[in-house]
Structure 1
Amino acid sequence: MDTESVTETLPRRRTGYRIAWAAAALWGAWAIARVSGADRLPIVGGFGLPLTALTPYAAATSIVPLGLALAARNRWAAVVAAGTAAAFALVLLPRAVAVTPPAAAGPQVRVLTANLMFGRADPAEVVKLVAEHDVDVLSVQEFTPDAQAAFRENGLDRYLPYEVLAPQWGAEGSGLYSRHPLTELPPISGTTLHQPRASLTLDGRTVHVTAVHPLPPIDPAGVADWHRTYESLPSADAEGAVQILAGDFNSTLDHAAFRGLLDRGYADAADSRGSGFTPTWGVTMMGPPLTLDHVVVPTSVAVRDYSVHTLDGSDHRAVLAVLRLP
């Protein structure tokens, strides 16, 4: 190799080294933030929390820094990149594997939750889902007076005659419909969006259902409201009842606040069935599909089935969970 070739090659190699280290550092920092739950820190606000929802995409592309390091023959950057990919796999892959359900011999409950996108979702489709799947409890978000009237016109009350509703224009309204008699409970307080709660009795077991819908954590007001919701949601053993939380949580399994809720005695229905990567938002629009809608139940409740269903007129999919109570 002549002197001119060496002169040209060395800067190129140094550039490759630097790019490899930059990529390894970027993906590595993301993995460290996810594993450590750094998004719970106050400094992480309306920028970091939405980014946290994109963690599966960071994991899926974590081969990029490894490839760059290998191409640059940067051994230590390759080690960092490989460790990063392993860390992502450790925390993400379990949600794709179903867990053995607990032994539960109580009554079966079918719970459907649907974000109606400002009340624009096709009401006939929602009623059809309720009828076809023998739904016992329906939680709706972004529930408007027009949506309430449309549900009535489409015969929802034939299947779910009991209701605790807080319809509002825009995104603020939510509601609960049930096949069984409902008793209204105090709603989640101190939040912008209405989050009603209700109690029902099944074979002598008391069940409390909450329609969950915090603001998205994309600005300071949204972040504060989002945290207030998580702080206000009941623990799984609260009030001597089986707690079922169903709605648009504006959170994924990668958010520390959501995992903190699960640590209070809950399980995510999708995660339990190995469907934790199934997106519920962004599928019918431009943008990265995310899993924002959840049915959350005590760990003593067996999740027998889980499915998502596209709704015309909504940017969210409906989520159906078939549960067996303890």
Structure 2
Amino acid sequence: MLAILGWLLALVIGACLFVAAWPQALGLEQAPVVAQVVSMRVGVVGIALVLAVLLLLLVGWRRVRPFVLGVVSMLVVFSLVSFGIHASRGLDDGQRIDGSEDLVVLTWNTLGDEPGVDEIARVIDETGADAVMLPETTLELGVGVAETLRERGERFWVHTTGYSPAYGALNTTLLISAELGTYTTDAEVGGTRTLPTVVARPDDGDGPVLVSAHPVAPVPQQMRNWRADLEFVASLCGEGDSVIVGGDLNSTLDHWAGLGASGGDLGTCRDAASQVGAGAVGTWPTWAPPWLGAQIDHVLATPDWEPVAARVLTGLDDAGTDHRPVLVQLHRAG
């Protein structure tokens, strides 16, 4: 009976490890608990390896030795597979952004304006960003940043959608360089349910649709809204459209398995960082080193935009927000 129970337990452990490594195989990537576990692949791998070491302390007990060795083997295989998937998305955090004639996109969740006007303006100025997606950023701060940049000879249009102007987290701002032309916020397209998303369309119809997105986090009470938010963002990346999305998407590539279309990761949009080998550098939280954190801040673009380079800015961890900025250089194909 003990042997039977041991094998049954081993099968359950193996099934759990399989789901944790590749939930997409069973369509469970957005399921409660699984969604949270798969977000932190490196952390889960670390836990698995610690458990393997602790179990090896019991290997001298003959009656449980087969069970222990079996579970340890599964933990080691899980760790190798899961870390391999993680590393395949790219750990290069030193790519150089050279805008030249290309489009430079910056996204940074400011945690309710925390870095302040001067710091955000400095980062935009130094990186040469043309489009800046700022979740959890108020209209007041966006205007302040634009005014500061104007004093430096750079003009930006400010677009903000706010569900509560007095509470920073319920605002999302998009800054667009005047060199890209004029844009109008599309208030008819809909939006994310809990936290706002800005969709801006070029007035002359020539440039890309720019989206500053902020789906809600997959906390237990928001799972339905989280799924709906991701579906909405995916719907913006339709066939034939030129779209660039940036923001705190509160999700990793694993969560998008069922939302891609025509080779895209989210709709037809492709994650720029993973395309150029930087998609496994953690953007949240800032207290965790980049190799450990979750990759939930993204810049994506439709296939008419080719990613040239991407970099998570790791030198701003003391700026007041718990997110790292993501900077991407995009080249317009053709």
Identify the TM-score tier after normalising by the shorter chain.
0.7 to 0.9
Structure 2 Cα separation of the partners of residues 212 and 146 of structure 1:
19
Q: Which residue of structure 1 aligns with residue 166 of structure 2? A: 169
Alignment partner, residue 306 of structure 2: 302
**Superposed CA RMSD:** 3.7
Instruction: For 1:236 and 1:192, locate their aligned partners in 2 and report how far apart those are by CA, in whole Å.
Output: 17
| d(CA) in 1 for partners of 2:276, 2:242 | 20
How is 1:119-268 mapped onto 2 (pairs within 5 angstroms)?
119-155=113-149, 158-167=153-162, 168-170=165-167, 171-179=169-177, 180=180, 181-186=182-187, 187-189=189-191, 191-200=193-202, 205-220=206-221, 222-235=222-235, 238=238, 240-256=240-256, 260=260, 262=265, 264-268=267-271
Give yes or no for the alignment of 1:280 onto 2:287. no
Unaligned runs of 5+ in 2: 60-64, 93-100
Aligned equivalents of 2:91, 2:312: Cα separation in 1: 17
What is the identity, as a one-letter code, of the residue corresponding to 1:231?
Answer: E
Go from structure 1 to structure 2 and tell me whether the alpha carbon gap of 1:61 and 1:156 turns closer, same or farther (over 3 Å shift): farther
Query: Does the aligned pair in 1 maintain the 2:242–2:302 contact within 8 Å?
Result: yes
Between 1:107-116 and 1:188-197, the stretch displaced more is: 188-197
In 2, Cα distance between equivalents of 1:23 and 1:76? 7
Identity across the alignment (%): 21
- Relative to structure 1, is the Cα distance of residues 40 and 140 closer, same or farther in structure 2, using a 3 angstrom cutoff? farther
Task: Structure 1: state its 5+ residue gaps.
Answer: 1-13, 99-106
Post-superposition offset of 1:135: 1.1
Q: 1:317 aligns with which of 303, 308, 324?
A: 324
Aligned counterparts of 2:27 and 2:154: Cα–Cα separation in 1: 41
- 2:90 alignment counterpart: 96
**What is the rounded CA distance, in whole Å, between the counterparts of 1:325 and 1:231 in structure 2?**
26
Distance 1:59 1:266, change over 3 A: farther
| Letter aligned with residue 185 of structure 2 | E
CA–CA separation in structure 2 for the residues paired with 1:148 and 1:228: 27
Structure 1 residues 324, 119: closer, same or farther in 2, change over 3 A? same
Q: In the aligned structure 1, how far is the partner of 2:19 from the partner of 2:239?
A: 37
TM-superposed deviation, 1:124: 1.2
* In 1: Cα distance, 2:122 partner to 2:29 partner: 43
Answer whether contact 1:28 1:81 (CA < 8 A) is retained: no
Larger radius of gyration: 1
More divergent stretch after superposition (303-312 vs 185-194): 185-194
User: What's the TM-score once normalised by structure 2's chain length?
Assistant: 0.75
- Aligned partners of 1:110 and 1:137 also within 8 Å: yes
